[in-house]
A and B are shown apart, each in its own frame.
Chain A
C-alpha cells in the first residue's frame, strides 16, 4: 500500500497557507490510531498543476477570496468528478465572511447551483472510524466573538455518485488542530479525532 500523503491546494486568489502545524498533527493522529502508512511530509500542490490528480486527499482553506482561474476551475471539477476528495475548511468560521461566500459561489459556478448541500448528522463520515453521534464535533473557535459567532451544527458536501467529493466546513477545524503534535498528550480528549474520520472516509473510495 502506498503511504498516505497530505496535499494542500495552493490557489491564486486568497491565502491558502493557513494552519501550518495542522497537517503534521493530523498525520500523527493517523499513526496513533490507524494502521494507514503515511508520508510525513505535507505536499503543497498548485491547483493549476497536473500533480493534483495524483493526490487521494486534498485540503483547501483560507480567510480570503476563493475565485478560481478557468484552469483551476477545470482541474478542481475534474479532480472531484474523477473520485478525488477535497476537505475545505473556512478559517473565518463565518457563513457571511468572504471565504464562505466566495467559495460557495465558486462551487455554484463549478458544479451548479444546488451542488453544495448539508449532509445529515448520521452520515457515514461520522462513523468511518470514531463515532460522532451528534454529527460534527464543535470547535473552540465557533463562539469566540469573531466571525458569525454561531455553532454550525452541520457540514456541507458536494456528493458525486453517492460519495462525498468536497467536504465543506465553517467550523475552523484547521485552527482547532493547529498546534505542535507533541502537546497533544496534555489534552484530556484528542480534538483531532474527527480528522481521522475524514481521511479514512476519503481513502475508503
Chain B
C-alpha cells in the first residue's frame, strides 16, 4: 500500500477499520506524508534527508468513556489490535464529562492545496534549488546557512456516524541566513509555498545578501519608542499570538486578552484599528488549507477581526453546547488584509523610523495583555527622510500585538510568509507601526 492514499483508498481503509469496532461510537483518523530536506551551512551542503510517515488513530467511546490508540502499521492484524486497544482503554477510563460524541456527515468546501509540482520534488530538485543559492553567496565571499524542506501528504477521517473527510496537501519551506565574512553583517529570508513553482531560491537569496551586506557596521541607537516598518516575517511572529489566543473558553474563564471583568468577553468590541481585517479562508488560492478541522467540523471563510472588531472566537463543541452557541472550529489558515503600498513605498514615506527584517525568540510576558518579548535580528536599519541611512544594533522589544495594531500607520501589500516560531504559513502585510517599544540593546548580529 502506498504511503499517500487517494481519497478512495483512504475511504476503503477507514471503512475496514470501522468494521472492527464494537464501541458505541468510533472515530478514525489517518495521515500519510513524505518529507524531504536539504540543509547547508558554511556554504556547503551538510545533510540531505527524507522522512516517510503514516499513522492511524482510533478513538472509541462507550457512553462518555473514551479511549484512544494509535498504530503506524496498516496490516489487518495491526489495525484490529489498535481498535481493541482503544476499546480496552475506553472501558478502563473514567467518564469524560466534556465528551460530546462524534459528528454526523458534513459538507465541506473545495480547497486545492495539493500541487503535482511540489509532490514531484526529489533530491535533485532540492540540490539544484540550493545550488542556485550557494552560487550567489560563494561568488560574493558571503557565508550561507539554510534549510529547504518539502512535504506532501494527506489527512482523512471517518466515524461510525458516517462522517468522511479527506484533504491532500503539499508545501515547501525555504529559509536562509547569510553572514558576511567578518561575521558582522547578517541577513535572513524565509519563503513558503504550496506550489514549488513559486519558489525562486536565487531571488530569495539576493534579499538575504543585500541585508547581510547592508548590516555591517551597525550603530547603537537609544532604546525607546520608534516608528517601525515590520516586514511580514517580523510582524507574523507577534500577530500569530493573537490568532492562537482567540479561544472562547479562555476568554470566558478570564485567562485571555479577550477576557473582561465579571466573566464577560470582548466579542463584538473594537479592539484594534478599523483597517484591521483578519479572517480564515481555506479556499484562498495563495494559501490553500484544509476545509475541515481536526474534529471534522467544516471550516468556511470566516472573520476573526473585522474593521477592528472581534467577530468570532473559537468554540469547541463542548464549550459551544454549554453556552448555547454554534461551535467555531480553530482555523486552518489565517489571512490579514493590507493595502497596496510596497515595502519600498513605505520606507519612502517614513520621516524617521526603523526597518525590521526579523523578530525572533518570541516569549510571552503576560497572556492577559498578550505582551511579548523578543529580539530583532538579521538586518535592522535606521530610516531617515525616506531612505535607509545605516544599520543599527539589534534591540530587545516588549510589545503587545494588540497595542501594535492600535498604533497602525500603514499596511502594505500582503504576502505569504513563514513564521520562524511556529513554521506555519500566513498571508500578512508589511506594516508601519508608531511607538513600537524597544526596551534594550542586544549584542547579537
Contacts and interface: CB of A to CB of B under 8 A. Distances in A.
A182 B224 CA distance: 19
Contacts of B437: 140, 179
Contacts of A182: 406
State the main secondary structure of chain A at its contact with B. loop
Interface in B392-445: 396, 398, 400, 402-403, 406-407, 434-435, 437, 439-442
Nearest to A183: B403
A146 B223 contact: yes
Q: How large is the interface on B (under 10, 10 to 19, 20 to 34, 35 or more residues)?
A: 20 to 34
Contacts of B95: none
A175 B366 contact: no
A145 B369 contact: no
Given A180-B406, A187-B369, A188-B368, A146 B222 contact: yes
Given A144-B441, A180-B407, A188 B223 contact: no
30 contacts: A21-B435, A92-B222, A140-B398, A141-B223, A141-B224, A141-B439, A143-B440, A144-B396, A144-B439, A145-B223, A145-B441, A146-B220, A146-B222, A146-B223, A146-B440, A146-B441, A178-B225, A178-B435, A179-B225, A179-B435, A179-B437, A180-B406, A180-B434, A182-B406, A183-B403, A183-B406, A183-B407, A186-B402, A186-B406, A188-B369
Contacts of A143: 440
A62 B375 CA distance: 27
Contacts of A179: 225, 435, 437
A187 B366 CA distance: 9
Contacts of A21: 435
Nearest to B396: A144
Interface in A1-60: 21
A145 B440 contact: yes
A175 B225 contact: yes
Query: Which of B224, B402, B439 has the most C-beta atoms of chain A within 10 angstroms of its own C-beta?
Result: B224
Interface in B15-41: none
B224 A175 contact: yes
